[in-house]
Structure 1
Amino acid sequence: MTFKKLHLAGADLSDYQLGEPMYAFDRSRFLGTVKPVEVNSDKSEVRVSRFLPAPSVVAEHRHLGPLLLVEATMFLAERFPSIQNVHFMLSREIENSDGTMVAAARVELLRSIGATDVHAQPKPDSSKPGNFVVHGLWSYAEHNLVALRSALAMRRELYREHLAHVPMEERSGPLRHRLKQWWRAMTHEAGSSRREALPKG
Structure 2
Amino acid sequence: MFTATIHFTQHRECILRRLTASADAPFPIEIEEIQNGFVTFVLCAGEHADAFQSELEATDHVEHVERLDEENLLVTKPSCGAYSAIYRNHGTLRRSNTVSGRQREYNVLVFRREDLRRIIDDLEGFGTVTLGKLEPFEASTDSPLTARQREVATEALARGYYDWPRKITNEQLAEKLEISRATLHEHLRKAEHRLLSSALADGHRRTGRGAFERIEVDTGD
Shorter chain as normaliser: what TM range?
under 0.3
Structure with greater helix share of residues:
1
After TM superposition, the score normalised by the length of structure 2 is: 0.22
After TM superposition, the score normalised by the length of structure 1 is: 0.24
Larger Rg: 2
